[in-house]
Amino acid sequence: MQKNYLITTNIEKKFIGKNKRFYLADWCLDENELKKNKSKNAIKLNKYSTYLQSLTYRLSFSLGLFLNKENNQNLTKKFWQNLIWIWVSYYISSNFYRWKKIESITKRKKYNFVDLNYTKNFYYSDVNAYKKLISNSDLYNYLSIKKIINCFENRIKKVAVRKGDLNDKLDRNYLNNHSPIKKILFNVYSSIFSFFLEKNKIFIASVFSMKNLIKLNLRLKQLPHFFSSYFFNETYVKILNKKIKRNKEKLNFRANNRFEFFLKKNIIDDLPLIYLENFNKTLDKIKKIKLNPRVIISSSEHYHVENFKIWSLYQKELKKKRIITVEHGGSHQLDSGQFNYDSRFSNKHISWIKSSNSIKPFNPKIFYSFIKREKRDKIIYLGYERPKFPSRLCGSQVYENNDLDTCSNLKLLKNKIKKDASNLFYSPKLIEDIRVKKNIIEILGKNKILNNGSFKKNLKDAKYVVCEYPQTAFIESFLTVPTFLVCDIEKTFIPDKRFKKIYTLFKKNNLLFKNMDSFIKFINKNSNNIEKFWEQSKIKKIRKEFENKFSINTQNNLLCSWENFLKKQK
């Protein structure tokens, strides 16, 4: 019997006829196939969370020892573990997902695999470049999956196909950096006021809005630092004909299963350049930064800005300065996917969620009346935007696009709401998957797609908001306009146990709907009186209870609480 070909990315499709293809996952589909394919066979990484966390710890520990020796440094184990933790967690999770997909598919059936002629080697600057490649690049994913397939030779037969070289132009060019005017202005400011900035006792990376950042620094009697004046990712990809020589045989890591042997074999070749070839040069540069704070405060910068991570960890581990990390969003699902990284990286971590056993400052990003409503005519839809390829464990159970069908929901909403269909807009954070973007445009029209990252700007004109996921944008919206969550919280976004009661109230009081049909039934009855519904005393009470869980207060109280908190840290 003739074997089907296992199609692992969009690249192989042009070499194999449609009747011989078996798709590994929905990332192999084009936009039209994505609309038709309703299979939900994604691997749920969350059930492997404990194992992946343990593996991240073990592997980052071994890599830290390797990197310390290869870079001829004498830095602490914690320095190295925390520097590489995010990349290691992404690398393990993304490969584990693809490994499990192949393992599952090949249990009962054998396949052929299109072995294409590509002998060049990918190298990337940092965790940011890796995440962009593993999330969006068909070529990089083809090469990564090919390495996994080498471990399944008894189930998958490689068939060489030589029909010209693969095009890597897109992968070479799509990570180019540009220097925005704002960064140039910040550099000029930092240069002019360098004498004063060097004396600051607290370095606040961002955490707050620009306006509140300036206000808070002045309250602390210091000029504000602007992060990009000191730290900026130079993100790029190198595609080389020859491999960079690395001493991977010196990695001392005990592999306990086939997947771990695969990691041990490949991870040194896949390390970002910043951790090895570029590390000593970067360390020398950050030592020359003329800042000497006692306290460093970071929100999300310690995730992906490598030179900031190196500087912060150097200050913490060698100069004994304090790092305070602050939650950068409103995620309150069971598993964040970063394995307690914020607390590992810092001396103290401040979450948005209010705790009964500790006193902490108010929410730094969201405060009462931070947006003032105006027109109230737009219906804004917020979809959960996944990249084309899974890249990490996250606080949802959604690992492929067809697990959460934004396009079907939008189409249903547009066709069945009796009022306001002409005022329905989609608000993207940043649609990375071009297939999904094309399908949304086909449903709503190009002029109904708001600009990337413009949600808060458009929120002031919203009549109501429909949201697919309960994270930061949902909280911002819930505080401002009538907001409804259409989401299966038992299967897709499972809340932290502290939120079980409030989500039960959401369900009972028409604030949370399991599917789009039930929401449409509700909104068709209540659209004309949505403000009246929103201002009911029982709804206001539920809203207040939810807001309190995230330590939300007035802008002035926010600033006062942080001023008092930070003065104690000096």
∠4-10-13 over CA atoms, to 5°? 45
Distance of alpha carbon 1 from alpha carbon 266, whole angstroms: 34
pLDDT in tens, 242-298: 999 999 999 999 999 999 999 999 999 999 999 999 999 999 999 999 999 999 999
Query: What span, in angstroms and rounded, lies between the C-alpha atoms of 207 and 329?
Result: 10
Q: What is the pLDDT of residue 2?
A: 57
pLDDT in tens, 131-151: 999 999 999 999 999 999 999
* DSSP structure string for 131-186: HHHHHH-HHHHHHHHHHHHGGGTTTEEEEEE-SSPPP-HHHHHTT-----HHHHHH
pLDDT classification of 1: cutoffs 50, 70, 90: very low
Residues β-bridged to residue 203: 296
User: Is 217's pLDDT higher than 80?
Assistant: yes
d(CA 141, CA 204): 37
Are the C-beta atoms of 78 and 98 separated by less than 8 Å? no
Location of structure tokens 């950068």: 328
Average pLDDT over the chain reads 90
Residues 267, 251 contacting (CB under 8 angstroms)? yes
pLDDT at 396: 66
Over 90: is that where the pLDDT of 485 sits? Answer: yes
Does position 59 have pLDDT exceeding 50, yes or no? yes
Per residue in 146-160, pLDDT tens? 999 999 999 999 998
Residue with tokens 């950096």: 177
Which residues have CB under 8 Å from 273's CB, separation 6+?
Answer: 123, 124, 125, 126, 238
Q: Which residues contact 539 (CB under 8 A, 6 or more apart)?
A: 509, 511, 533
Structure token pair of residue 552: 């939300």
Look at residue 372 in the predicted model and tell me its pLDDT. Answer: 85
pLDDT tens for 380-416 read 999 988 889 988 877 666 777 666 678 889 999 999 9
- Weakest-pLDDT range from 140-154, 360-374, 506-520: 360-374
What single letter denotes the amino acid at residue 394? C
The answer to whether the Cα torsion of 438, 443, 448, 451 is positive or negative is negative
Q: Do 393 and 438 touch, CB atoms closer than 8 A?
A: no
Residue 124: strand pairing partners: 237
Length of the chain as a residue count: 570
Q: Please give the structure tokens belonging to residue 77.
A: 């184990």
Distances (CA, A) of 471 to 2, 81, 333, 484, 552: 48, 28, 9, 13, 15
Task: Tell me 432's DSSP state.
Answer: -
Query: Look-up: residue for tokens 């709907």?
Result: 513
Model confidence at 335: pLDDT above 80: no
Dihedral sign of CA atoms 487, 491, 495, 501 in order: positive
Using the 8-state DSSP alphabet, how is residue 295 labeled? E
Quickly state the pLDDT bin for 465 (edges 50, 70, 90).
very high
Question: What local confidence, expressed as pLDDT, does residue 359 receive?
Answer: 78
The pLDDT, as a whole number, for residue 165 is 60
Task: State whether residue 116 is helix, strand or coil.
Answer: strand
- Relative to beta strand 295-298, strand 156-161 is unpaired
Exposure class string for 373-407: b at 16+ Cβ within 10 A, else e: eeeeebbbbbbbbbbbbbbbbbbbbbbbbbbbbbb
In three-state form (DSSP H/G/I as H, E/B as E, the rest C), the secondary structure along 6-59 is EECCHHHHHHCCHHHEEECCHHHCCHHHHHHCCCCCCCCHHHHHHHHHHHHHHH
Give the whole-number percent of the chain exceeding pLDDT 70: 94
pTM over 0.85: yes
pLDDT for residue 205 is more than 90: yes
